[in-house]
Structure 1
């Protein structure tokens, strides 16, 4: 399973959707990049493969970062991928 995370302005937690194959994940990641590059303010709607009822819709002008990673790789290392890492208190 592959995860595409999107970080929005003034939001600490990233939003994410999952895809089953690297090709599908790369296509979604490219869709997000194109939305970020565009000068028009539009809406970007994404749905999740693992949880089809999980959908997100964001204004493209609010996207500040995006990343793609393989979910199984995160579990093996014990380190959660993401934009913000919080230290345990």
Structure 2
């Protein structure tokens, strides 16, 4: 399962939807990127593959950041998804 998270202005928690394949997730991720690049103030509506009843709608001018990651791969590698990466300090 792949997760696409969207961070909105003045909102502490990101919104997310899930896709079953990397191709579908990449399509949604690029859809979010294109919506933020356009100067139009429009509504972007997304639905979740895992929970079809889960839908989100966001104003494109409120999107601050987006990320895509594999849900099972992040847990298995010990790396948590996120926008901040910490460097390892050599001792």
Q: TM-score, normalised by structure 1?
A: 0.88
Tell me the distance in 2 between the aligned counterparts of 1:81 and 1:55: 22
Q: Report if aligned partners of 1:7, 1:83 keep a CA contact under 8 Å in 2.
A: no
- Structure 2 distance, partners of 1:78, 1:37, is 33
**C-alpha distance in 2 between matches for 1:53 and 1:77:** 30
Asked if 2 retains the 8 angstrom alpha-carbon contact of 1:8 and 1:14, the reply is: yes
Q: What is the match of residue 37 of structure 1?
A: 37
- Trace 1:1-89 onto structure 2 (pairs within 5 A): 1-83=1-83
Larger radius of gyration: 2
Any runs of at least 4 consecutive aligned residues in structure 1 with deviations exceeding 6 A, and if so which? none
Q: Extract unaligned runs of 5+ from structure 1.
A: 85-89
1:75 Cα deviation (Å)?
Answer: 1.5
Residues 26-48 of structure 1, C-alpha deviation per residue, up to 9 Å, x if partnerless? 00000000000000100000000
Q: CA RMSD in A?
A: 1.2
Normalised TM-score (structure 2) = 0.87
When the two structures are aligned, how many residues end up with a matched partner?
A: 84
